[in-house]
Structure 1
Amino acid sequence: MRDSRMAGQGNGKLKYVVRGVIALLVVVVMFFPVYWLVISSLKTQAEMRMAIPTLWPQSFAWDNYAEAFRVIPYARFFGNTLLMSVGLIVLQLNVALMAAYAFAKGTFWGKEVLFFLVLAAMIVPDQVTFVPVYVMMSKLGWLNTFWALIVPHGASAFGIFLLRQAFKSLNNDVLEAARVDGAGRFGMLYRILLPMAMPTVVTLGVLIFISGWNSYFWPLIMTNTNEMRVLTVGITMLRDSIAGNEAMHFHVIMAASVMAILPIVAVFASMQKHIVTAMANSTFK
Structure 2
Amino acid sequence: MFNSQKVSATRLTIAIIVTLFMLFPLYWLLITSFKPAEELKSAIPTFWPKHFTFQNYVDAFNKAPFLRYGMNTLIQTVGVVTLQVNIALLAAYAFAKGNFFGRDKLFLAVIAAMVVPEQVVFVPVYVMMANVGWLNTFWALIVPNAVSAYGIFLLRQAFKSINNDVIEAAKVDGAHRLHILYRILTPMALPTLVTVLIFKIIGSWNSYFWPLVMTNTDNMRVLTVGIAMLKSSIAGNEMLNFQLIMAGSVLVAAPIVILFIFTQKHILTAMSNSTFK
TM-score normalised by length of structure 2 = 0.98
How far apart, in 2, do the equivalents of 1:18 and 1:197 lie? 37
How far apart, in 2, do the equivalents of 1:190 and 1:101 lie? 10
Deviation at 1:225, TM superposition (A): 0.7
Per mean C-alpha deviation after superposition, the further-off stretch among 64-73 and 173-182 is 173-182
How far apart, in 1, do the equivalents of 2:252 and 2:170 lie? 45
TM-score normalised by length of structure 1 = 0.95
Per mean C-alpha deviation after superposition, the further-off stretch among 172-181 and 156-165 is 172-181
How far apart, in 1, do the equivalents of 2:262 and 2:216 lie? 34
**Alignment coverage as a number of residue pairs:** 277
- The equivalent of 1:232 in structure 2 is 224
Q: What are the ranges of 5 or more consecutive residues in structure 1 without an aligned counterpart?
A: 1-7
Say if 2:14 is the partner of 1:22: yes
Per mean C-alpha deviation after superposition, the further-off stretch among 127-136 and 27-36 is 27-36
Q: Secondary structure at the match of 1:247?
A: coil
The correspondence for 1:175, drawn from 146, 167, 175, is 167
How far apart, in 2, do the equivalents of 1:181 and 1:270 lie? 38
The correspondence for 2:68, drawn from 76, 89, 94, is 76
Deviation at 1:20, TM superposition (A): 2.4
Say if 2:275 is the partner of 1:283: yes
- The equivalent of 1:149 in structure 2 is 141
Deviation at 1:262, TM superposition (A): 0.8
Say if 2:114 is the partner of 1:122: yes
Letter matched to residue 189 of structure 1 = L
Deviation at 1:89, TM superposition (A): 1.0
Looking at CA atoms only, which structure, 1 or 2, has the larger radius of gyration? 1
Q: What are the ranges of 5 or more consecutive residues in structure 2 without an aligned counterpart?
A: none
Deviation at 1:83, TM superposition (A): 1.1
Q: Secondary structure at the match of 1:227?
A: helix
The correspondence for 1:197, drawn from 184, 189, 193, is 189
The correspondence for 1:247, drawn from 222, 239, 245, is 239
| Runs of 4 or more consecutive aligned structure 1 residues displaced over 3 Å after TM superposition | 11-14
How far apart, in 2, do the equivalents of 1:279 and 1:31 lie? 22
- The equivalent of 1:134 in structure 2 is 126
Superposed CA deviations along residues 135-191 of structure 1, whole A, max 9, x for unmatched, are 001111111111110110111110000000000000111111111122111111111
Superposed CA deviations along residues 52-93 of structure 1, whole A, max 9, x for unmatched, are 111111100111111111000000001111111111110000
- The equivalent of 1:108 in structure 2 is 100
Letter matched to residue 110 of structure 2 = V
How far apart, in 2, do the equivalents of 1:153 and 1:214 lie? 13
Say if 2:65 is the partner of 1:63: no
The correspondence for 1:206, drawn from 194, 198, 203, is 198
Say if 2:114 is the partner of 1:87: no
Letter matched to residue 113 of structure 1 = K
Sort the Cα spacing of 1:43 and 1:190 in 2 relative to 1 into closer, same or farther, 3 A: same
Letter matched to residue 265 of structure 2 = K
